[in-house]
Amino acid sequence: MTLPLDIGSPGLRLAPLVLPPAFTGLVAAGSAAGLACRMAESGEADAATLLMEERDDVIAFAVVLAPTEPLATARRAVFIGMQALADAVGAFGPPEIPVTFHWPDTLSFNGARLGGGALHWPEGCDETETPDWLVFSAMLLASKRDAGDPGLTPDSTSLEEEGFPNDLREPLVESFARHLTKAFEIWDEDGAARSTGRYLTRLALPPGVRATIDPSGDARLVHADGRSETLPLRPALAAPSWRDPATGTVRL
C-alpha cells in the first residue's frame, strides 16, 4: 500500500524507515496502537501499515494485520508478534543475556521487565467470525532517567540501562518488521505448532513444567507432579500485564 503524503489523519507523517516490501511506515503523534486501530477500522490503513511513536522514554509502535482465521484462533498472532519483538531486541542486545516472556505478553531482558506486546481486534467481533483486522502493538522502555533511583524499580529495566546502542528506535522497528515477516512465513510454511513452539522456548516456566499451546491460544501446563493447569489467552490480552494503567506505559 502506498499512502499519499497528505495522509488525511491528523498527527501522521511518513516515517524514514527501511521496511520489507508491502510495509508502509508512519510516524504517529499520540498512541500508535490507538491510531492504528482507528485507521484499520475506518479502512484508512491496510495490512502491514506500521505506526511508530516519537518519544524518548519508550519505543512504541503498532502494525495492522490481516487475519484469515476466526478470531478464536487468529488471536494466536500475538505469539508471532512477541517472537518478532524478542528477535528484534536480541539482535541489538548482548547475545549472552536472555530475552524471555512472561505469559502471555511481557518481555523481559536480563530477568527484568523491559516491555511487552498487545493484540487488538474489532469491538463486537464474534469468536467464530474472521476479524476485518488485527493490530499488534509493542512498547519497550528506552530510558528510566525520570524514574529515580533504579534500586527503587528493580523489577523493570530499560534499553539504556542494559547498554543497548543509542538512537535505537528506527533500527529496532525496522528489525521487528523483518522478523515479523519471517515469523509469518514460518507459520504459513510449517504451521502453527512450530510458531507457537518458538514462542514457548522463551516462556519463563517453573522447573519441570512442560507447556503446549492449543488452537485457541490457551497454554496447557503439565507440572512435574502430574498436575495440569490452563492459562487462558483471551482474558490475559484484555489487560496487558506489563502496562501501568495509570501511565499507559510499561510498569516500573
Cell of 140: 519497550
Contact between 156 and 244 under an 8 Å Cβ cutoff? The reply is no
The kind and range of the H/E element at 134 are: strand 134-141
Whose CA is closest to 13, among 63, 41, 51, 64? 51
What is the number of other CB atoms lying within 10 angstroms of the CB of residue 228? 8
The pLDDT profile of the chain, 252 residues, written as one tens digit per residue, is 334 334 556 678 999 999 999 999 999 989 999 999 999 999 999 999 999 999 999 999 999 999 999 999 999 999 999 999 999 999 999 889 999 999 999 999 999 999 999 999 999 999 999 999 999 999 999 999 887 777 789 999 999 999 999 999 999 999 999 999 999 999 999 888 899 999 999 999 999 999 999 999 999 999 999 999 999 999 999 999 999 999 999 999
Query: Global pTM?
Result: 0.94
Domains, the chain, in order of start with CATH, read: 12-238 (3.30.930.10)
